[in-house]
Structure 1
């Protein structure tokens, strides 16, 4: 399902639909119109992403505003180096078309600054017609495969909300560090290519006469790297700096990002003192002294959050208390390049707690807390029943206490999840919070969840990996993702062994579904015997990948396999145990 709507339009259309909680929740003269100051700040910030290809040094060009990230072209005497390849083939093609107006030389090398979607998934467009070396940190390929495998469904949905993919230009003013994320469009396809040259700490190389050094610089990701061009005194810093408060934690979901490593990596740039700093989001900066000054503030902000969070933790503070305790000093809070257009101090502080201390906040009441539903029942009892809780939520909305209204709506919907009035109340609270949020990620998340409630869908990208990208992905990744898709409830009483053989890749995988767990390991195809499994199937590797990636229907693929033991019906029933389950909305009770 593809839906585009603005926040204001959503609100206006919702009034007749949510008669029970529409105008009755607004005081006379009160509205949910956009916060003008917030709207102006967001639109002014958009100027940073004005679409253009800028020349940085004699032979270094950066494409800005064609997608979420920048792509950089370095022109050598007989070829090109491309640093970062955009988020899809479609955005990559638009950038390559602009680069081709400057140079028709072949692409000799591609460099990934890190594993994120918006930097790697347009690679095969730039590589078309040539065989470039692809440089990356030694962990990049693993990290790409992890995201497109086991965690893809959850990260996909949360990313669609965070980047406002389903909002129109009224709701999606910009994405904080770029104009928009090109992933999620119906026409989007992915073209990732695995690295061919990797390194651990530092690597010096020369391509097309261009001398460069790759420097491992963990920060926004553990595999982050810098590209240092000593002859041009240009440093490409990946995502360790951009014109916004850094995303020390991302609400789409991520493993812990070490703040200490991040500010120490920024110190590497300060020690080099480049004349040009080229971030992979927002605009470049020129002038060694200016760069040094800006980066000093930037790393100080990160260290401040790190140090004061640890200080607060050692004082016994919980995550909520830390958020109130850690506030940037004025000279950092007011800095134009540290405004909360991408990350926020509050989110970073919470991540510092969980990343260093784990989920337990130290309060004994948190050791075995009430379930969401039990807590909701308690809140309803304290409010005098369902009607009382609803009235408290309505009162909060009328007083402009939108966060309180949102949280109370969550309690109501845990107990009465199909109540239209309660959904409408939550919708209005989300819309109000979204309209007033300066942070684009928060704005989009609020407004998209509001849209999901109104239209009855869960945000999800229809984007498909390209055929060649699937061909390059290891079969092991698909089986790893299979294990975490097992329906434990349906398989609780089952004990079934299956082997899938792939003659074209000379691999075989053993899958043992054993009372709610899928044990998976690789076998040698020539060592498989009939006694090893209840079902033995011979399959084409590419068709298998396309089936699991939802590029091809199982109804069309399964009949093409050969069944050495068992049959089509038994294997289809086995595979049904791994059928993806529909995701729920945040306010809905667990199924």
Structure 2
């Protein structure tokens, strides 16, 4: 705690703050900086917050415009927007989550610097929505379509689109609901609730208007360069790391480096708790080491898409070496223990970071957590089964809980839960009381007691996502499922940007297989604006699609992609869609009624802490 170097670095280069309240052009509140006033500077951590997380929150709440080095600025919000002031124009790297916030960030830069150079290029460092969501606040889609502004991104255009859109749409409902838990979107802003997300301030409350423009200029191999705004940009392609498609960027003119989210002022996730594909910890280390080999002797600053920069060659090298070794240590120790026969949970309870890594603030658990990252390595390399025969086909939680309650008795479980809480044994209290909650959803006494235990686990947690999960679980147990708040990642822009095959995959996960087991639905589609004919059929409970038309289609529908997407996702409103969008149909419209009968609408507020 006596190491205060980060507090000097986080304020370095400060130019200007945003107004306390920031509104969109439509008058909607985008962010309110006062929401985090309780995370005060030089105030000791309250009893309800882990001191390490409190320290990180004091740092991460700082926002506004910062000059990193000559020619490089960052607009710091929950995710950073980096502006490269190249000789012939601005190159913008990453765009945050929201159109209005991105627009306000560029306006703040222009107002404070007097810089009116045009934006000449856009760069996505990786496929996560908080780095492309604000693109339309800075870049005009027409300028991209005309070729005036390239959008540079890692991986092929098809691959980037599929990973960026697929992750946020195909499993979007589940991910959005889990994000409400992991990011504390349902919790109050106070020292008993949200105290930042550790890697971002969260003072926008995720009031987000996502946008998306597909990339136009792919980076598919290390060593590729682009001349943008008169400066050379060199890229290191780093797939299957923090995102399925990711890259590092070197700007030799200003000796500035970013490793995207493969290097942060925090341990990152090998497996996100919100839900995404498990990552390769070994690749984190591999590409960080390759970066050190390429540019380690020259780099004078490392700037990231979250948190604050690292200045000075010695510090940059030490930072990247330590982060490299952090991920390699997690990977190697997890698999060492796996090869000794330990299960993921047993390994997670054993692995501890050596002081050389664990006592670096930037390796602490402000986004990822060591406990679940160790388990994630098992999942990546060995799959979902933990190796215990008793867990290959376990009972369902409610059945398991009822049998425990019948065996042990409700009163005995309540007694044990109270004793565990009084003794500070909160993990045991949560587990033993879980049986009461899942055996009888009306057991208010059991739910309230388990909520007490979850709350104390939340107050103790260093990982902000653990904190948010525990505190939101307590909230659900006491108050029931809340329907306000939350976030939806399947925005109109992302649905419209879907490749057609991905659109049909999205519809396919809405099909109730049992209901569709005996139907026979055959529909041809012509996407009038994007070009291309497709045929779709539902048989054996499965929706399939392929390019081209079929001779035996029962119905043919022609129209723009957006209208056809709406028809597919809400076939029960087919007549309205046909009339509103002027869709051209030929054949039996009753087929859409049959489709509507087997297509589900997802509940965005399903329970998590209760049955």
Q: Normalising by the residue count of structure 1, what TM-score does the alignment of the two structures yield?
A: 0.85
Q: Distance in 1 between matches of 2:492 and 2:596?
A: 22
- 1:55 is paired with a residue of what secondary structure? strand
Indicate whether 1:136 and 2:115 are aligned: no
In structure 2, the CA distance between the partners of 1:393 and 1:548, relative to structure 1 (3 Å rule), is: farther
Provide Cα deviations, 1:504-526, integer angstroms capped at 9, x if missing partner.
333333332223222222324xx
Q: Normalising by the residue count of structure 2, what TM-score does the alignment of the two structures yield?
A: 0.83
5+ residue gaps, structure 1, are 1-32
- Counterpart of 2:225? 204
- Counterpart of 2:287? 265
Whether the 8 Å CA contact 1:470–1:546 is kept in 2: the answer is: no
Greater shift, 408-417 or 37-46, is seen at 37-46
- Counterpart of 2:345? 320
- 1:189 is paired with a residue of what secondary structure? coil
Indicate whether 1:347 and 2:372 are aligned: yes
- 1:190 is paired with a residue of what secondary structure? coil
In structure 2, the CA distance between the partners of 1:74 and 1:308, relative to structure 1 (3 Å rule), is: same
- Counterpart of 2:599? 578
- Counterpart of 2:93? 83
Indicate whether 1:107 and 2:119 are aligned: yes
In structure 2, the CA distance between the partners of 1:315 and 1:489, relative to structure 1 (3 Å rule), is: same
- Counterpart of 1:52? 64
Per-residue deviation, 1:306: 1.2
Whether the 8 Å CA contact 1:108–1:130 is kept in 2: the answer is: no
Per-residue deviation, 1:43: 4.9
In structure 2, the CA distance between the partners of 1:78 and 1:465, relative to structure 1 (3 Å rule), is: farther
- 2:169 is paired with a residue of what secondary structure? coil
Q: 2:82 aligns with which of 72, 75, 91?
A: 72
Whether the 8 Å CA contact 1:88–1:183 is kept in 2: the answer is: no
Per-residue deviation, 1:470: 4.8
Whether the 8 Å CA contact 1:431–1:450 is kept in 2: the answer is: yes
Indicate whether 1:416 and 2:440 are aligned: yes
Indicate whether 1:428 and 2:452 are aligned: yes
Greater shift, 538-547 or 272-281, is seen at 538-547
- 1:456 is paired with a residue of what secondary structure? coil
- 1:352 is paired with a residue of what secondary structure? helix
Q: Distance in 2 between matches of 1:422 and 1:554?
A: 47
- 2:267 is paired with a residue of what secondary structure? coil
Superposition pairs for residues 2-81 of structure 1, below 5 Å? 35-36=47-48, 38=50, 41-64=53-76, 66=77, 68-81=78-91
Q: 1:474 aligns with which of 499, 503, 515?
A: 499
Per-residue deviation, 1:558: 5.0
In structure 2, the CA distance between the partners of 1:315 and 1:208, relative to structure 1 (3 Å rule), is: same
Q: Distance in 2 between matches of 1:575 and 1:408?
A: 43
Provide Cα deviations, 1:433-474, integer angstroms capped at 9, x if missing partner.
222222111111222233334142367745576666554433
Per-residue deviation, 1:251: 0.7
Indicate whether 1:153 and 2:178 are aligned: no
Per-residue deviation, 1:83: 0.5
In structure 2, the CA distance between the partners of 1:463 and 1:346, relative to structure 1 (3 Å rule), is: closer
Q: 2:130 aligns with which of 105, 111, 118?
A: 118
Q: Distance in 1 between matches of 2:291 and 2:254?
A: 15
In structure 2, the CA distance between the partners of 1:474 and 1:37, relative to structure 1 (3 Å rule), is: closer
Q: 2:271 aligns with which of 240, 249, 268?
A: 249
Provide Cα deviations, 1:241-261, integer angstroms capped at 9, x if missing partner.
111122222111121211111
Indicate whether 1:496 and 2:521 are aligned: yes
Q: Distance in 1 between matches of 2:602 and 2:563?
A: 22
Whether the 8 Å CA contact 1:112–1:120 is kept in 2: the answer is: yes
Whether the 8 Å CA contact 2:180–2:485 is kept in 1: the answer is: yes
In structure 2, the CA distance between the partners of 1:549 and 1:341, relative to structure 1 (3 Å rule), is: farther
- Counterpart of 2:314? 289
Q: Distance in 1 between matches of 2:569 and 2:247?
A: 30
Per-residue deviation, 1:538: 3.3
Q: Distance in 1 between matches of 2:525 and 2:411?
A: 57
Q: Distance in 1 between matches of 2:201 and 2:58?
A: 7
Whether the 8 Å CA contact 2:344–2:375 is kept in 1: the answer is: yes
Per-residue deviation, 1:318: 0.7
